[in-house]
Amino acid sequence: MRTYYCGEVRQQQIGETLTFWGWVDRRRDHGGVIFLDLRDRTGIIQIVSDPQRTPDSYEHAEALRNEYVVKVTGRVSQRPEESLNPKLPTGEVEVYADSIELLNAVRKQLPFQVSTADLEPVREDLRLKYRYLDLRRGRMSKNLQLRHQVVKAMRRYLEDQQGFIEVETPILTRSTPEGARDYLVPSRVNPSQWYALPQSPQLFKQLLMVSGLDRYYQIARCFRDEDLRADRQPEFTQLDMEMSFLSQEEILQLNEELIAYIFKTVKGIDLPIPFPRLTYAEAMEYYGSDKPDTRFGLKLVNLSQLLKDSGFKVFSGAIKAGGVVKVLPIPGGNAAISNVRIKPGGDLFKEATDAGAKGVAYVRVKAGGEIDTIGAIKDNLSDTQKQELLELTGAEDGHLLLFGAGPTEVVNKTLDRLRLVIGKELGLIDTTKNNLLWVTEFPMFEWNADQKRLEALHHPFTAPYPEDLHDLKTARAQAYDLVFNGYEIGGGSLRIYQQEIQQQVFEAIGLSPEEASNKFGFLLEAFEYGAPPHGGIAYGLDRLVMLLAGEESIRDVIAFPKTQQASCLLTDAPSGVDAKQLKELHVASTYKPKT
């Protein structure tokens, strides 16, 4: 029987004889005495085998190599002063091995050393191909255990304290309304018909509210066939929730408690609740982003009012065309950021143009409020305007002001990027902070320029604010996102449960009654049999765990992730299939390899 895991032994166990099962992390031969670091999922314990003290195990210890699987029984002893290891939780003890049993050797050359992989980066393709070895290492094993702790905390809070019920919803289903491309599965028994894998359980969870389930949650797998730029996965996991008869206020409060519970149980961190809130309009105004990182300042200032009649046509022209002029004031920016970086060819110029801007105008504030800038801006500012510029931006000696002028969207995107890059560079981000922020009152729709139509920003079942119903096109949605240190970790909304409003929303996004009934007829019909007011939210579990683990990629908190090309290097999925299988599925390929 296993008495202890390797990583759990402490001084209290000194004198006890214990048995461990695990892998040889490292084997060192110190002039006749052999030291083994024995590893299991909890960590490492040092095993000692010595020809004098433990002659029975010595021969076996000699034959061991890295990653061999062994069973070791031995006595826990205090380590001598000179070999204490404060870096290891077990670093005060070691185990004198009375017996070592080899359970399995390694028969092939290891593609990389597990024992050093935490310290010396291994190529990611190798890690993914030999994922089972990669997951043996401390860091990855800890990440999976953290993920488990997070899910466990979610379940404990939702089930035990709030009466949520977990329900599984179908994976083989119809298209769901999250707006990405579907993964499709051909039906063999229904020739030429297809299932879609769910992009989220959205429709089913709303149906469960019609069923009277009242409070639903699910640790749900979602599938979205998107181009995997950034850190996305074709399948990912959500904590998905839906609840009936709660107001937005009550939903936000319950979710604050949930998140605080997770932080407390998993990280021991006390999050102050309620979380701060910004409306979407405020977030865009002050940060140029709907997921602002509020761990640092550098807020944007809108100068449109001041500069609308400026003789500098870049400014006044942008405002006349319906756009804005905004500025990012950077204290100490004069010393830190050179002109070269802002002008064509510079890195900040590139950030701006990548965001769609034509360039960046700038002003340097000197002693006594003197301003130094390219002629065109200076020549077109009156003394009172200069004064007002300083007042609005709070700029003093040493401030650099970066300007964005043009369509609101482009200006926001540009200054948001510059703000993040510069905040990081100047060390303004306090990485010990855990800033949770609700962003509320999202617009119902955004303009899809390609298709020349309005599109639901969240999804078409999101309820507008009743007071905005007179002009649905500009209405605010009763939708909310939870932002953690600049990452969106969750989002949801109150739902429409009245048919007339649902019709209006479909109309606004150009969905005819036929199309609507074709796509979501079953849900609309269900709503005619007594739908309660309801709302919900979904969290991106992978991202949340990534942030809690301090990792930079969600691939590092998913056991078997896919690459940017959506393939699994371990199993070689996706793969070709037999012609016979395709035939049974009534599917033929139209693919012609490029010659």
Site residues for ligand ASP per CB under 6 A: 178, 200, 202, 491-493, 536-538
Residue by residue, DSSP assigns 123-187 as -HHHHHHTHHHHTTSHHHHHHHHHHHHHHHHHHIIIIIIT--EE----SSB---TTSSPPPEEE-
Question: Least distance to ligand ASP from the beta carbon of 461, Å?
Answer: 8
Question: Least distance to ligand ASP from the beta carbon of 479, Å?
Answer: 8
For residue 574, say if its preceding peptide bond is cis, omega within 30 degrees of 0.
yes
Of 364 and 459, CB closest to ligand ASP: 459
Of 331 and 491, CB closest to ligand ASP: 491
Rounded to whole angstroms, the Cα distance separating 392 from 387 reads 9
Count of all residues that appear for the chain in the document: 595
User: Residues near 55 by Cβ (< 8 Å), separated by ≥ 6?
Assistant: none
Of 90 and 176, CB closest to ligand ASP: 176
φ/ψ region of 333 (left if φ > 0, alpha if ψ in -120 to 50, else beta) reads alpha
Of 92 and 178, CB closest to ligand ASP: 178
The answer to whether 205 and 242 have CB atoms below 8 angstroms apart is: yes
Question: Least distance to ligand ASP from the beta carbon of 238, Å?
Answer: 6
Question: Least distance to ligand ASP from the beta carbon of 458, Å?
Answer: 6
The answer to whether 11 and 92 have CB atoms below 8 angstroms apart is: yes
Q: Which of 17, 64, 18, 23 is nearest to 41 (CA)?
A: 23
Question: Least distance to ligand ASP from the beta carbon of 80, Å?
Answer: 57
Question: How would you class 91 by CB atoms within 10 Å of its CB: exposed for 0-12, middle for 13-18, buried for 19 or more?
Answer: middle
Of 43 and 536, CB closest to ligand ASP: 536
Question: Least distance to ligand ASP from the beta carbon of 153, Å?
Answer: 20
Question: Least distance to ligand ASP from the beta carbon of 48, Å?
Answer: 54
DSSP-derived 3-state class of residue 401: strand
Angle between helices 408-425 and 280-287 (to 10 degrees): 60
Q: How many CA atoms lie within 13 A of 11 on its CB side?
A: 6
Of 288 and 491, CB closest to ligand ASP: 491
Question: Least distance to ligand ASP from the beta carbon of 275, Å?
Answer: 18
The phi and psi torsions of 483 (rounded to 5 degrees) equal -115, 135
The answer to whether 124 and 112 have CB atoms below 8 angstroms apart is: no
Question: Least distance to ligand ASP from the beta carbon of 228, Å?
Answer: 17
Rounded to whole angstroms, the Cα distance separating 201 from 492 reads 13
Rounded to whole angstroms, the Cα distance separating 49 from 61 reads 7
> Residue 176 has which token pair?
């769901």
Question: Least distance to ligand ASP from the beta carbon of 491, Å?
Answer: 5
Of 37 and 542, CB closest to ligand ASP: 542
Q: How many CB atoms lie within 10 A of CB 548?
A: 22
Of 293 and 481, CB closest to ligand ASP: 481
User: Residues near 83 by Cβ (< 8 Å), separated by ≥ 6?
Assistant: 94
Of 75 and 534, CB closest to ligand ASP: 534
Of 170 and 311, CB closest to ligand ASP: 170
